[in-house]
Structure 1
């Protein structure tokens, strides 16, 4: 029988049967979720703080990192430029990334000296541009992010989450983000290719941290890399004075922030009792670019963002 000759009441009955089947087949799937399953499906927000600065490989590093982060659920990226103003490169990059982000900026404090930096200004020098010594890179950026995060958390009903200090040129496996969601207070794990070692890591006995596998300044209060720990975000409100400092020695920034939240023996060993490496302290090699004065033929690329 041609479809056009089917009576309207038959079509109505067929549509009604279809709707009923759809309703009864989908409803139990929702109702059968037990409270235990619903609770276990909760994912704490990961607030990742990333200082960044203008350089030729900046966009390449941020692109590589963002390709990883787009696979992380319930993630908030706080990216802070070392700049007097937000750059178009980073602003446009973040808009196109599809990630949930907050874009901040603050310029690193610097002091000009002809040779040695005044000890009263900074106890060590990190890098030099022309006659300017820059101290403790990332301090102002991370502190600004912590200030923003405190203000943000105060407005939220659910303040649960994880704070992670994430450099823009490191390499991160997705598993490291799964691990940090298990944190009660402060969790830690190994970091590969750091401190002159294949892997720098806490030593664990019977589920407790009893020492550290570190050869670079092993006497540090917390001889671990910035990429090797994360903090429960609720602790940030409990410790309103917690911040980084420019008045500490090189390599002590991790210890400076961790002292507010935990003791070495209270760190929570993650990543299979600190036996798995899910993050690597990689660094992008500085590109070798021919200066315009040495070009044999004209090159017209100033209008291209790299």
Structure 2
């Protein structure tokens, strides 16, 4: 019996995809995503390149020859110096008397309003008192409490030796700033201390003066054309022989004149001090003659010297006692009738 013929039927095969084509598509998709992801950074790089090329085209000019970097003192590297500038060295003679606490407190509050840097040299006649030291600590002003080592009763000699003690202190320690003699019983404006920082060598200004028994104020100081000193105000005939008609509180000067004579071309390097051998009223002019040769080395402040920035008052009462510790030991024995 013949076997039936077998039919050979071929089953359909799944579609075959080349592995190379799949790999190529995967790589293209990956590359496209990578480029899209980095597109923001490419723009930043292009912008930076454009800025760099522009800056290169506009490069700053070279510095001038022999340019030097300014040497900044240590105190100028701190925030305080930003407000002030030059160091102010305020010299104040003081002595035990009834209104000493009032005067020192008043002056201390004024100095506290002056932008730093400021150093207050308070020079006391004779031994240092605990009351003065305690008051100075409450002012909030940087200070140094000095003494003369001499107990002088004469007002003229006392002030001279006290200021000389401060000058010696400045000279020994090479303090670099503007020196000003500020008596504790005078009246000062904050503007005066701000103007002092404009002084290069020696600055002067007009001072209003008032004393008991006088019906009008006296003006003493420079007559100026701008900042140039061309004359002097004076109302007292007895002072016509003075070379410079300036009050002790009417000038300030650069402290380096005291300890660096070569810088200022001083022909005589002797120590600069106030003299107690001259007549009263001549201490100012004989001292200034050691600092400058004539008016050409002076600076009138402010321009025109038309502002009165401080007053020299002579209102001290002679018969008032000095309370121990600046406190009265008991209440005043005064009976006030009640009506």
Equivalent residue for 1:68, pick from 96, 110, 120: 110
RMSD: 3.0
Please show how residues 1-306 of structure 1 align to structure 2 within 5 Å: 41=82, 43-72=85-114, 73-83=116-126, 85-108=127-150, 110=152, 135-153=156-174, 160-193=176-209, 197-205=217-225, 207-216=227-236, 217-237=239-259, 238=261, 239-266=269-296, 267-286=298-317, 301-302=328-329
User: In the alignment, is the contact (CA less than 8 A) between 1:47 and 1:161 conserved in 2?
Assistant: yes
- What SS does the corresponding residue of 1:136 show, helix, strand or coil? helix
Residue 209 to residue 56, structure 1, CA distance change in 2 (3 Å): same
**Which sections of structure 1, spanning at least 5 residues, go unmatched?**
1-34, 111-128, 154-158, 291-299
Residue 207 to residue 93, structure 1, CA distance change in 2 (3 Å): closer
Residue 233 to residue 191, structure 1, CA distance change in 2 (3 Å): same
Q: Distance in 2 between matches of 1:303 and 1:148?
A: 40
The structure with the largest strand share of the pair is: 1
- What SS does the corresponding residue of 2:179 show, helix, strand or coil? strand
Quote how far apart the aligned CAs of 1:283 are: 3.5
Alpha-carbon displacement from aligned partner over 1:266-299 (angstroms, at most 9, x marks no partner): 2111123211011110244428769xxxxxxxxx
Moved over 4 A (4+): 38-42, 107-110, 194-197, 287-290
- What SS does the corresponding residue of 1:200 show, helix, strand or coil? strand
User: In the alignment, is the contact (CA less than 8 A) between 1:108 and 1:134 conserved in 2?
Assistant: no
TM-score using structure 2 length: 0.62
- What SS does the corresponding residue of 1:93 show, helix, strand or coil? helix
The range that moved more, 233-242 or 88-97, is: 233-242
Quote how far apart the aligned CAs of 1:256 are: 2.0
Quote how far apart the aligned CAs of 1:82 are: 1.0
TM-score using structure 1 length: 0.69
Q: Distance in 2 between matches of 1:95 and 1:206?
A: 40
- What SS does the corresponding residue of 1:193 show, helix, strand or coil? strand
Alpha-carbon displacement from aligned partner over 1:235-262 (angstroms, at most 9, x marks no partner): 1112551001110111111112211111
User: In the alignment, is the contact (CA less than 8 A) between 1:209 and 1:264 conserved in 2?
Assistant: no
Alpha-carbon displacement from aligned partner over 1:67-106 (angstroms, at most 9, x marks no partner): 10111121100001112x1101101111222211110112
User: In the alignment, is the contact (CA less than 8 A) between 1:202 and 1:274 conserved in 2?
Assistant: yes
Alpha-carbon displacement from aligned partner over 1:91-142 (angstroms, at most 9, x marks no partner): 11112222111101125565xxxxxxxxxxxxxxxxxx6xxx5543311111
Aligned length: 234
Residue 289 to residue 162, structure 1, CA distance change in 2 (3 Å): closer
Q: Distance in 2 between matches of 1:96 and 1:134?
A: 27
Q: Distance in 2 between matches of 1:44 and 1:206?
A: 22
